[in-house]
Structure 1
Amino acid sequence: MREVYQIIRRPLITEKGTDLKDRANQYLFEVAGDANKIEIKRAVESLFRVKVRQVRTLSVKGKKKRLGRFVGRTSNWKKAVATLNEGETIEFFEGA
């Protein structure tokens, strides 16, 4: 079994993520590209000591970037939306 820090790379603190947190008790994370929903659920539960009801994932395509005449791409990455049970919160996001 992989380390939780290999599965969950970082929390995503954005306007949309803050709105989801306030409205639907959902939290956004950047996760490893090969992580599945079960691994993500276990990692969030053990890292933040909360109960996760549902995990949804989506793959984000990298963007084209230019530097003068050179064209490159940013990396593709995976995003996870974790829905917590009623009354549960993650304190890390409350200060943001």
Structure 2
Amino acid sequence: MAEVANHLVPRDGLTNSLIKFTRLEAPQKGSGATIFFTMYDEEHIEIGEMSFFVPAKAKKGEKGTVDDLIARAHQEMADVLRQWLHTIDVMRQAYESGSA
């Protein structure tokens, strides 16, 4: 994974908002599970929800447990957040250079 540019490293105390794993919905067939994350604002009021379907098939080194499914969903969420961070940083650079 690429190193995080110094200007993208978060500052302590920047926000009191959070994203939490909130639930798992699994069909009875055992094909996987939909993992839900809820986003909260500074006052911890719910502002949105995001979910990821995670296949039941265990990856190398996994035991195929529920914890493994939840861990993979957290990785999916982290990947989405990295993509969003990259996108907004590209847009910031465009505005700074006047080419937006």
TM tier, smaller: under 0.3
TM-score by length of 1: 0.23
TM-score by length of 2: 0.22
Task: Name the one with the larger strand percent.
Answer: 1
**Rg larger in 1 or in 2?**
2
Of structures 1 and 2, the one with the larger relative CO (CA 8 A, separation 6+) is: 1
